[in-house]
Structure 1
Amino acid sequence: METEILTLSDPAAEERALALLDAGDLVALPTETVYGLAADATQGVAVAKIFAAKGRPSFNPLICHVFDLAQARGLAVVGRAAEDLAAAFWPGPLTIVLPLAPGSPVHPLATAGLATVALRAPQGVAARLAQVLGRPLAAPSANPSGRVSATSAGQVLKGLGGKIPLILDGGASSVGVESTIVMPQADHLVLLRPGLVTRAALADASGLKVRDRATTAGVTAPGQLASHYAPAGRVRLDATRVEPGEYLIGFGPEPVAGQELAADVINLSPSGDPVEAAARLFAALAAFDSPDIAAIAVAPIPAAGLGEAINDRLRRAAAPRT
């Protein structure tokens, strides 16, 4: 894939970006914090492409970028503290973690299957694209996983060139570090990641105390419990044969032995595409999450690339329950 670079002064730049995002593709773009790797947060396959492009992926929650507070209200339950924080710091480098609204269109892959969504209203082109598209943009930092976050188009090209179709060049990021992340609670704020918006500024704007996340707190991000993403029934991995009455999550074009005995079958990707499989994973687990489904067999999925993350989530779904 050849990566195109367009400067924001180019009249065609934002139109080209919108067309790609609407079609479920990726665009690297500048924000005031760092460059983000953006996709339509409501399209599962588009979000899965983010993990694939960044490499060595894990399904961590992604920040979803919105135009303003009104757009945020369509995605999350926005309480008084969040209203105060947004009034003080949006558009800007503050991300607020909020409960998902009923019927929220954000794809579960962008939230890692959690009941919360991380929202930020950025400055500049990311906000304009979210406004015109009418949908939030999932956009982690535009760099290979584990590498330094990119603060210029050249750095994005060095790390992701040939893996994404378009980079919007808006010059150097003005802040240069990732956003502050905070989660409002009933009587305080939980600081999940420090950034340019300080602890003192958060307290002043909200009138609430700011606390660090307790080490004994429940899950606020994936990977904190051995058993997670688990349906009601027992999950059996790397199944090369289906036992009578089991439900089957398949992968690839080849049927699993005894597949005709399965009570029902969902194939994550009949073509064996890990991006498609990642996008459908949470939906498949949810479809078979029922008290009357006792056993789910899962066909082997190659562990390379995005398969590493898929298998990690499946292992957690299959782990012994406490």
Structure 2
Amino acid sequence: MSDVDAAVSALREGALIHLPTETVYGLGARADDPEAVIKVFEAKGRPRFNPLIVHIGDIVLAEQIGVFDDRARALAKAFWPGPLTLVVPVRDAGLACDLARAGLDSVALRMPAHPMALDILRGFGGGVVAPSANRSGRPSPTTQADAYEETGAFVQASPDGGDCHVGVESTVVSLLDDARYLRAGAVTRAQVEAVIGPLASDQAEGHRSPGRLSLHYAPDAPVKINVDEPSASAAYLAFGPTNFTGPVIQLSARRDLHEAAANLFRALREADRLNPPVIEIAPMPEDGIGEAINDRIKRAAGFVG
């Protein structure tokens, strides 16, 4: 089996791969499967659920996942395949799960300019999240050997696509309203402006970009965390069995942190749709992926951000 075939097979099984790109080596997982995406956060030791870039192999899939306007199409035509990520409204959330988007109504999309990456993406046929393949806080890997040293224990396939010729993460541009330059990269601000005109301040949409501090999705109702005995009027996000007689939305009845992480954003939205005076959340363990869950619910409660 070739390296490309092995990577495609691993993605289909929900396993992790190393994805060689022109910017850095990515830690890849299928974007439509929250259980696969969770493995990325665990492998990286990532402290919170940042939005992740969804890598695609063609513009047709990109427009199935996200809503492209004339600006997005012009930038894609000018710089794709290449080191430019476009943040656009999500069209089909089933193709890029809540965890991949950090619960946002937008999605970050990129078509990498690397032959092996494109072969893998087109062979798989769906979106692939692929943040840099380093452990959190460490330098991004630009060779297969470095990627394997960082996160090789977590991947099922680690194809060698040679050295990355860009070596820094992609430029990120938001096109949700005014165009904004959210993260600098090999595609410069001047190059983007030459295609679509002047850019607005980047501050208003910074939370939409991978690699930046994010408040992410917060419900309309106030959120209280670490609640063992919910108040009578609350919508309660439970973790395990509960005797609460009000509205209960289970993160995981069997107290499985992976299941709770996969259900988190859906549960917050479901609770918010009940229009409760308050959303209360059961205490969550801090071990493993629990650290990211706790970071996320602290942000929803307004303690971080």
Unaligned runs of 5+ in 2: none
* 2:109 alignment partner, SS class: strand
- Correspondence for 1:85: 75
Distance 1:273 1:103, change over 3 A: closer
**Contact 1:242 1:262 (C-alpha < 8 Å) held by counterparts:** no
- Greater radius of gyration (CA): 1
- Correspondence for 2:184: 194
Higher helix share: 2
Give the superposition deviation at 1:224: 4.5
Alignment deviations for residues 219-241 of structure 1 (CA, whole Å, 9 cap, x no partner):
5357545xx63334443321222
Unaligned runs of 5+ in 1: 1-10
Distance 1:244 1:183 in 2: 42
Distance 1:195 1:319 in 2: 31
Distance 1:142 1:184 in 2: 27
Give the superposition deviation at 1:177: 1.2
Give the superposition deviation at 1:47: 0.9
- Correspondence for 1:174: 165
Give the superposition deviation at 1:22: 1.3
Q: How does 1:157-236 map to 2 (within 5 A)?
A: 157-184=148-175, 189-204=179-194, 206-214=195-203, 219-221=207-209, 223-225=213-215, 229-236=217-224
- Correspondence for 1:39: 29
**Contact 2:51 2:101 (C-alpha < 8 Å) held by counterparts:** yes
Distance 1:308 1:264, change over 3 A: same
* 1:154 alignment partner, SS class: helix
Distance 1:235 1:129, change over 3 A: same
**Contact 1:57 1:305 (C-alpha < 8 Å) held by counterparts:** no
State the AA in 2 paired with 1:173: C
Give the superposition deviation at 1:299: 1.6
Overall identity of the aligned pairs, in %? 42
Distance 1:12 1:52 in 2: 27
- Correspondence for 2:281: 298
Distance 1:185 1:143, change over 3 A: same
- For the pair 1:282 / 2:265, whether they are aligned, the reply is yes
State the AA in 1 paired with 2:265: F
Distance 2:94 2:188 in 1: 30
- Correspondence for 2:65: 75
State the AA in 1 paired with 2:283: P
Q: How does 1:4-153 map to 2 (within 5 A)?
A: 11-101=1-91, 103=93, 105-123=95-113, 124-153=115-144
* 2:243 alignment partner, SS class: helix
Q: TM-score, normalised by structure 2?
A: 0.89
* 2:166 alignment partner, SS class: coil
State the AA in 1 paired with 2:197: L
Alignment deviations for residues 107-166 of structure 1 (CA, whole Å, 9 cap, x no partner):
111111112111101132332333232210011000001110001111112111323332
How much is the aligned-residue C-alpha RMSD, in angstroms?
2.3
**Contact 1:61 1:111 (C-alpha < 8 Å) held by counterparts:** yes
Give the superposition deviation at 1:102: 5.3
Alignment deviations for residues 199-223 of structure 1 (CA, whole Å, 9 cap, x no partner):
222222x241234414x66753575
Q: How many residue pairs are counted as aligned between the two chains?
A: 300
- Correspondence for 1:317: 300
Distance 1:211 1:243 in 2: 44
Distance 1:129 1:300 in 2: 40
Q: TM-score, normalised by structure 1?
A: 0.84
Distance 1:248 1:182 in 2: 37
